[in-house]
A and B are shown apart, each in its own frame.
Chain A
Amino acid sequence: MTARRWDIAFGLALAVLFAWAALESRRWSELARTFPMAVAVFGLVLALLALVLPARKADAPEPDELSDDVRRRRTAAAVGWIAAFFLAVWALGFLVAIPLATVAYLRACGERWPVTAAIAAASWAFVYGLFDRVLHVPLPPGELLRAAGLG
């Protein structure tokens, strides 16, 4: 799909969202629905206008040494790593997941063990020292550890 088609698809998705939001608001009391309905109707009109009104001329993109294919692959990998960090935090909690995921990421990127270990240890010290000990933020133990009776 070309960039223009993605743009149109996004604009239409926004328009559908606004239309749904306006319909959904009909069943609320007047006080509760006035603002969201007004915003949704304006939003619907604006999303459709955005598809037809002219845009200012965009500047040429900055020169980039990466091909579209490489960029797409690396973006997918980046999103995958961020999702993996989140899953690790959910399953193991911040205190275990952050150093573990840090080691996994840095080794996958080809970093040497001393550097990897130092950054993982510093990350753990930062999370534990500042958030747990100083600020007393109640960090979750992680669902897996909780299920195993370790949390």
Chain B
Amino acid sequence: MLEALVAGLGQVLSWPAIGLMFVGIGAGFVVGIMPGVGGATALALMLPFIFKMQPAEAFAFLLGMASVLAMTGEITSILFGVPGEPVTAAAILDGHTMAKKGEAGRALGAALFGAFIGAVIGALSLMITIPVVQPLLRSFGSPEFLMFAVLGIAFVSSLTGISPAKGFAVAALGLLLSCVGQAPGTATLRYVFGQLYLWEGIRIVPATLGLFAIPELVDLVVHRSAIARRDVGDLGGVRQGFADVLRHRWLAVRAAVIGVVVGVAPGIGGAGAQWIAYGHAVQSSSTPERFGKGAVEGVIAPAIASAGERTSALIPTVAFGIPGNVSTAVLLGAFIIQGLVPGKDMLEKDLAITFAMAWTMIIANVIAIAICVLLVRQLAAITRVRGTLLVPPLIALVFLGAYAERNTLFDVGIALAFGALGLALNALGWPRAPLILGLVLGGVIENYLSLSVSRYDYEWLLRPGVAFMLAAAVLVALSPYLQPWVRRLRSGRAA
């Protein structure tokens, strides 16, 4: 195994693999900054170029790009409130608020270093878990994956905003919107109003862009100021962001674990992982009221979980040929193009290539973070540009991002509709995060629920893992209402 580990590193550092990795990183930077052209799309666009490459070269190129895509997506989320990727939307809540307070450099530093830590932990978990991954994954079934998604919704709904009931109602709206389109496993059309366009359901990219970016755009127009409304001496602050990650190291570790576990569970994806980690950061903080107003932990946890998810999603892809997210589904195509068979071969005969993939993600992230750190002061300076000048390019970016995924203006209309909803939710104090999480996880929950019931009837509820996670979800959901009661009980005892 050690031999394969060294051989894998050698493959990545050899020419032309290392050169192709730089090409991939460059492409990842450009695509990551553009909303809508997501990781999966970018990877799919690059597949035709790998036909003549060797496996290590192909994965250095593809994974080099994939590794930096979301890292750069964090940049637009923090600076402009426009999520470069759906998996970086959570960075807006606190990261963009920090940018408005003149702490863009600190937020970028925390997000980029966090993404680096998450990617490295994810890649290490790929290396370490290879011998144990098969029996571990086999002990999990659809009921456990279902409960994991439910737990995520419980975390985010009860802990964001000022009223847990509002959070859960908004999450239910997201789940309901996920039902739009053709019902899985049947030909029934649900809530489509006779529109052919709605048959495929509501897409995450235009919904996320609309819900988060349009309210920020309106805010920019309303205030007619730069994004950074407070003048601070040190615009950079990137070192402080790095130090923040180290200061919150245990949160970083827990967020990485969340990312890795979500990555291994097929279907939930990075968009779910970031929100679950955000919910956990709020829940585990002694000052949860700071979240949404520029708490650096609200930047660190989602960035780490999202990056950890991205790399660990390769575990089920390599071990079973089951993609953990959409990007790894495209990578599975790359496996086939390269003549690689996921499963036993990748864990034995082609183990060096599996390790080369993990090394690529670590090295690509080191290079990407070095480039970002070099540019971060210049990037953060954008927040001092007059808001008026940024509005037209940002509107164009949002529209193009919404359009580019399916090449239809209907998606721009969806972004506008979600933008209006986002404005209303913001104005009335209803949280936005549970809506997008419900939309992301709705399909997954329905699918796993259907599988669980058909396979185990209602006995799946009695499985120990399910019972444990269900109890945890109920406790998390009720915790905001129980906390004052517990506090009173404690103060009564102390008196």
Check B446 for interface membership: any CB of A closer than 8 A.
Answer: yes
Please tell me the size bucket of the interface on A: 35 or more
Chain A residue nearest to B481 (CB atoms) is A53
The residues of B that contact A120 with a CB separation of less than 8 Å are 392
CB distance B186 to A32 under 8 Å? Answer: yes
Majority-rule SS of B interface residues: helix
CB distance A31 to B183 under 8 Å? Answer: yes
A90 to B191, CA, bound (A): 25
CB distance A119 to B392 under 8 Å? Answer: yes
A123 to B37, CA, bound (A): 17
A74 contact from B222, B442, B480, Cβ within 8 A? B222
The residues of A that contact B1 with a CB separation of less than 8 Å are none
- Rounded to whole Å, the gap between the CB of A57 and the closest CB of chain B is 8
The residues of A that contact B190 with a CB separation of less than 8 Å are 25, 28, 32, 36
CB distance A50 to B166 under 8 Å? Answer: yes
Chain A residue nearest to B42 (CB atoms) is A135
The residues of A that contact B393 with a CB separation of less than 8 Å are 102, 119, 122-123, 126
A75 to B424, CA, bound (A): 12
The residues of B that contact A32 with a CB separation of less than 8 Å are 183, 186, 188, 190
Chain B residue nearest to A20 (CB atoms) is B191
A126-140 contact mask (Cβ, 8 Å, vs B): 1 or 0:
110011000101101
The residues of A that contact B222 with a CB separation of less than 8 Å are 66, 71, 74-75, 78
A56 contact from B188, B450, B480, Cβ within 8 A? B480
Please tell me the size bucket of the interface on B: 35 or more
A21 to B177, CA, bound (A): 10
Tell me which residues from 422 to 474 in chain B have a Cβ below 8 Å from any Cβ of chain A: 423-424, 427-430, 442, 445-446, 449-450
CB distance A77 to B389 under 8 Å? Answer: no
Chain A residue nearest to B183 (CB atoms) is A32
Segment among B272-280, B362-370, B404-412 that sits at the interface with chain A: B404-412
**B-side interface residues toward A, CB under 8 Å?**
30, 34, 37, 45, 162-166, 168-169, 172-173, 175-176, 179, 183, 185-186, 188, 190-191, 214, 217-218, 221-224, 289, 293, 388-389, 391-393, 395-396, 399-400, 403-404, 407, 409, 412-413, 416, 419-420, 423-424, 427-430, 442, 445-446, 449-450, 480-481
List 9 extra interface pairs beyond A31-B185, A57-B162, CB under 8 A.
A18-B176, A28-B186, A31-B188, A50-B165, A53-B163, A79-B423, A94-B403, A111-B388, A131-B400
